[in-house]
Structure formats: structure tokens, C-alpha cells
Amino acid sequence: MSHLDASKLFSLNGLVAVVTGGGSGLGRTMALALAQNGASKVFIIGRRADALNETASLSPRLGVIIPVIGDIGSKESLENAYKTVSSQTEYIDLLIANSGIIGPANARNVTEDGETVPLEKYRESLWSIDPKEMTHTFHVNATGAHFTVVAFLPLLDAANKRRPPQVPNSGILSPPRPQIIITSSIAGFMREIVSGFAYQASKAAVNSLIKMWSNNLLNYQIRVNGIAPGIYPSEMTTGRLREFGTQHGVTEGDAPKTAVPLTRLGSEQDIAGLVLFMAGASGGYLNGTIVISDGGRLASKPSSY
């Protein structure tokens, strides 16, 4: 029964991964979790060398996390990042397309007192947003994720070609097929505007990309899944933390129950545990799934999931 041991189910020994947006936030936590639990190489891609180097320095397994400068909003930069990675490994087992931006915020149509904002005033706030800001949000969150997938397909395919066959009638599985995990957001399922039209619509597009890619890569035996986080402490949620009056937000009671039923934000352990499950043998049967990690927030809002 050793194949049911947690050490086997969640082991990442020898895993080679690429994580975009690995210089901060969820990307940093995911990269550190992979390195901490046996991955042999974790390439982190981002625009800021200082942030990437800081992530690498935080891992006790020095040299496992490898910074790569790259901008997922540029095909040329993505191609250069791919070439850098492929010069140091012949394959990757896991690609986490995690980079994203919040985009322009828009005023709410209801005041703090619950009064409806006059339509003309609401229109003014929406009209004041530069269309280029809207488009840029889609470009980074959706188009960037799409071309990140395209860029690294050869290395994912190479992982399949080196994968050992399963021993017939042994009951022991071969290592999981290579996988792409795309970071989306529960905002992509919401009808209520809580993060801005641009961000939420772009994440709805990402949710569709996850489903389409999972279908489109079936014949190539490359799995595609998604993560839809709720509110986690990061550069993108600093405003929400100020609103809640907390610095970290991961202690029960830090968030109002109306915002998060579990009354706290997601922690490093929450996202790390989810990634370990999905990346290991434990998640080897997942394909086309978007996993929500939000403390019940989506269940409390008008949404479609």
C-alpha cells in the first residue's frame, strides 16, 4: 500500500517547472512550494530581475529556482524566455501561466450607505477609463496566458516522449502526464462587479481558454487545468487589505463574513497545498478542471460556475 503514502502522492521529486509571474504574490509562493518539495528546477519568469532574484534567494534549496527575465505580453520576449529555459533543460513537466494584472478600477454603482449612484454619475466614471487600459488588461491576462502556453508546448511534449511506460498489471501508475496550470480568478465567474469590468471580463476569457486548451491538447496528452483564487494577500489586493483594516488578512476574523464566509484571506499554505496536489501524482487524473480556492466567497456572490 506504499503507493497511497502521502510522500508518494504529493512527491515532486525531479519535477521541472516553469512559473510566470514568479517574482511576487501567488507565483512566488507556488515556485517556493515546488522547490521546497522536491522539484529539480523551477524557472520563474518575470520583468523585474530584483523580484525574481529575491524569490530565488528565499528558497533553502539554492540553485533550484532559476530567474528568467521575460514579459509575457511580448511574443519576442516570450520566445527569448523559452530559448533560455530550453538551453538549460530538454523538457518541462509543469507550466504555470500565472502572470496577470488588475487593470483599471471603476466606481461602484452603489454607495457605502447602500444608495444607488445616479446613472449619469455612474456613466461618467465608466466613460473616464481609457479604452487602452481595458485592452491592455485583456492583452496581459488572456492573450499573454495564451501565448505562454503556445511558447512552451515543445518542452511539454518532450516530457511525454521521455515518460516511462506503465508496467502492465502492476497497479502502479507512471508519472503524471505533463500539465499546464493557468491562474484565473473567481472574479471571472462573478456577475457582481467587484474588481472592475476589465479584470473580471479578462478572467472570464481565461476560464474559457483553460477549457479550450484542455480540449485542444487531448491528442497530445498534455493536460490543462486552472486555479481560480479568491482574495489572497498580494500586490493586487493591497486595496482590499486596507478596506478590511488588516495587513496580512490570514487570521480568522480579519475579513468580514459578507466578503469571505471563512472570515480570512487565502494563505501561503492554502495555495501551496493546492499546487502540490495538482502537480503531484495526486492530481494526475485532472484535466480541464478549474479549482476554486476562495473560502466560500464565490458561493456568497451572484455568479455562474
pLDDT digits (tens, 9 = 90+) for 70-123: 999 999 999 999 999 999 999 999 999 999 999 998 778 888 788 999 999 999
Q: How many residues does the chain have?
A: 305
Residue 229 pairs in a beta bridge with: 293
Does the pLDDT value for residue 155 go beyond 90? yes
| 254 assigned to some structural domain | no
| 241 assigned to some structural domain | no
Residue 295 identity (one-letter amino acid): G
User: How far is 119 from 103, CA to CA, in rounded Å?
Assistant: 23
State which residues form the domain around 72. 2-230+266-300
| 259 assigned to some structural domain | no
Mean pLDDT computed over every residue of the chain: 93
Does the pLDDT value for residue 246 go beyond 70? no
Q: Which of 185, 203, 232, 234 is catalytic?
A: 203
Question: What is the DSSP code (8-state) at residue 110?
Answer: B
Q: Which of 41, 195, 199, 202 is catalytic?
A: 199
Residue of 107 and 29 predicted with greater confidence: 29
CB neighbours of residue 268 within 10 Å:
16
Residue of 282 and 247 predicted with greater confidence: 282
Asked if 203 is an active-site residue, the reply is yes
| 256 assigned to some structural domain | no
Q: Which of 99, 184, 202, 293 is catalytic?
A: 184
| 203 assigned to some structural domain | yes
| 124 assigned to some structural domain | yes
* Confidence at residue 255, expressed as pLDDT on a 0 to 100 scale: 86
Q: Which pTM value belongs to this model?
A: 0.93
Region of poorest pLDDT, from 211-220, 221-230, 242-251 = 242-251
Percentage, residues of the chain above pLDDT 90 = 76
CATH of the domain at 273: 3.40.50.720
* Number of domains into which the chain is organized: 1
| 245 assigned to some structural domain | no
| 146 assigned to some structural domain | yes
